[in-house]
Amino acid sequence: MTGSEHRTLVLGGARSGKSAHAEGLLPWEGAATYVATARRDPRDEEWNRRIADHVARRSPNWETVEAPQPDGLVDLLDNARATDPPILVDDLATWLTGALDDAGAWERDASALATVRGQRDELVRACESCSAPLVLVSAEVGLGVVPESRAGRLFRDELGALNAGLAEVCDGALLLVAGLPLRLR
């Protein structure tokens, strides 16, 4: 993180290098809090290997908080102090998937979507008011392909709204394309 950026949003597509780049913004030798939003599934060996690859890249000096519930992430950010080490949240697409799952919102039930959108707004608010240095990782979706399924379109739309809200409150924003960071702000 540069000295002038308190909150940085790192966006990118699948396998773009966004997580590794975001990790590189943290002090390797210093303390940091790594918030891993992916939920483990004992039946999905491939997913668990992906999680293990992420874990193996982390500095031993970083504390890891695994798969907080949507409200748990907000609480963590709300309780961060300016003197705390930097926080990295990786990634908000999996956080949103969990929020949509927990609320039962995939079929576009109005009350379930209202719950998820309230959680989204609370997350954006918590990021804006977080006192500790903050790096957020999220997938960038919707660059041209319209998903065939209702659930795919819902996810694309909701993640786009989340990313736009976060970009408004972040001092810096990067887009990773083919491993190359493009500064947006």
Return the active site residues: 54
Enter the tokens of residue 61. Answer: 């000096």
Closest residue by Cα to residue 16 from 140, 145, 159, 177: 177
CA atoms of 162 and 140, how far apart (whole Å): 10
99 is in an annotated binding site: no
19 is in an annotated binding site: yes
Strand order in the sheet with 172-177: 62-66, 32-36, 87-90, 134-139, 7-12, 172-177, 180-183
13 is in an annotated binding site: yes
18 is in an annotated binding site: yes
103 is in an annotated binding site: no
90 is in an annotated binding site: yes
Annotation: binding site: 12-19, 36-38, 66, 90
Annotation: binding site for GTP: 12-19, 36-38, 66, 90
